[in-house]
């Protein structure tokens, strides 16, 4: 029985410059799902996870527009809403794709909470931008009335709210997810879990309590894979593999590399935080905590990567 945790990037749902319509998102998901369905046809069961940046941003914008008539929901509830929204869309696209491959699978979405440490330093230093842009006057009012942290985006000419991005610690629903994906050779479920990095919760007085934060989706995928004792983590992005000096004339592709070698490049500053950095961090952390193999590639190269003919393959 072959299994994997597969994390799809934002480009699998919405490409740069596209309007976030249902039609655009479904068209992208159908393209990505065709590759995932062929992976399933070739004998893999999977837990699929995904980002939610534009979607949760739009939910927050709707919060603001309707605020006078409809009570606004806190960020953890909005993340949960985006999990349901995207989970349904992926269910639709992937169900269609697996049926086109002649398979009888049930695509199942698990609303997933991810535990974070209430003492994580990120809560004292919010850095993750979310939601709409505001004028300087609006930003000052929001700081005063809601206690938000807002920073200026000089390129976009406005102010934007930033929230904490704490490290994921564990998956609350890990046992249920593990039972679904490791149900045996005849098990029918393809599982979607920890969408958007998961709903961030902390343990308080013996109960889980949602917090206003956003968890990095690649690090959440790493914790998910570790928690369900998966051996293979696949991180799908918009490039075919990891490169050194990416975007330059002397860019060098990395085909096969060990954790130690990759960490050396990571410590040398080769992978910026806003691009490949989180994926490399997730990969090395997964392999340091019991994982056996990580593949980083694009959806178009997924099948070739599984055959060892494309992508970056990272091992212990």
Residues with a catalytic annotation lie at: 10-11, 128, 217, 279
In terms of Cα–Cα distance, which of 297, 312, 313, 242 is closest to 39?
A: 297
In terms of Cα–Cα distance, which of 101, 86, 92 is closest to 40?
A: 101
Is the torsion defined by CA of 78, 82, 83, 88 positive or negative?
positive
- Residue 241, C-beta contacts closer than 8 angstroms, at least 6 positions apart: 253, 254, 255, 296, 297, 301, 310, 311, 312
CA angle 76, 80, 82 (to 5 degrees): 115
- CA gap 62, 272 in Å, rounded: 32
Distance of CA 117 to the CA centre of its chain: 19
- CA gap 252, 265 in Å, rounded: 12
Q: How many CA atoms lie within 13 A of 160 on its CB side?
A: 19
Q: How many CA atoms lie within 13 A of 147 on its CB side?
A: 1
Strand order from edge to edge, sheet including 207-210 = 168-171, 113-116, 199-204, 207-210
- CA gap 189, 81 in Å, rounded: 22
- CA gap 141, 132 in Å, rounded: 15
- CA gap 132, 210 in Å, rounded: 22
Q: Is residue 173 within 8 Å of residue 141, measured between CB atoms? A: no
């Amino acid at each position: 029985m072959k299994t994997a945790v597969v994390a799809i990037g934002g480009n699998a749902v919405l490409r740069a410059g596209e309007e976030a319509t249902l039609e655009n998102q479904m068209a992208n998901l159908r393209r990505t799902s065709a590759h995932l369905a062929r992976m399933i046809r070739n004998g893999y069961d999977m837990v699929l996870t995904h980002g939610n940046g534009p979607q949760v941003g739009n939910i927050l914008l709707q919060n603001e527009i309707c605020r006078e008539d409809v009570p606004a929901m806190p960020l953890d509830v909005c993340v949960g809403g985006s999990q349901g929204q995207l989970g349904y869309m992926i269910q639709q696209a992937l169900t269609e794709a697996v049926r086109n491959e002649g398979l009888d699978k049930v695509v199942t979405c698990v609303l997933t909470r991810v535990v974070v440490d209430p003492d994580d330093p990120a809560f004292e230093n919010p850095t993750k931008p979310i939601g709409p842009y505001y004028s300087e006057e609006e930003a000052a009012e929001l700081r005063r009335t809601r206690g938000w942290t807002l920073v200026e985006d000089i390129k976009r000419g406005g102010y934007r709210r930033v929230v904490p991005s704490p490290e994921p610690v564990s998956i609350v629903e890990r046992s249920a997810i593990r039972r679904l994906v490791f149900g045996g050779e005849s098990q029918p479920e393809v599982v979607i879990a920890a969408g958007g990095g998961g709903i961030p919760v902390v343990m308080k007085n013996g109960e889980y309590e949602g917090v206003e934060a956003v968890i990095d989706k690649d690090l959440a995928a790493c914790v998910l894979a570790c928690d369900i004792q998966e051996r293979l983590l696949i991180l799908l992005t918009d490039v075919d593999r990891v490169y050194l000096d990416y975007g330059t004339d002397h860019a060098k592709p990395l085909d096969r590399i060990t954790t130690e070698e990759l960490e050396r490049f990571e410590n040398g500053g080769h992978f910026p935080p806003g691009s490949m950095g989180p994926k490399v961090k997730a990969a090395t952390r997964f392999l340091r905590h019991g994982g056996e193999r990580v593949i980083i590639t694009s959806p178009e190269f997924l099948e070739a990567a599984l055959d060892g003919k494309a992508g970056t393959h990272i091992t212990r």
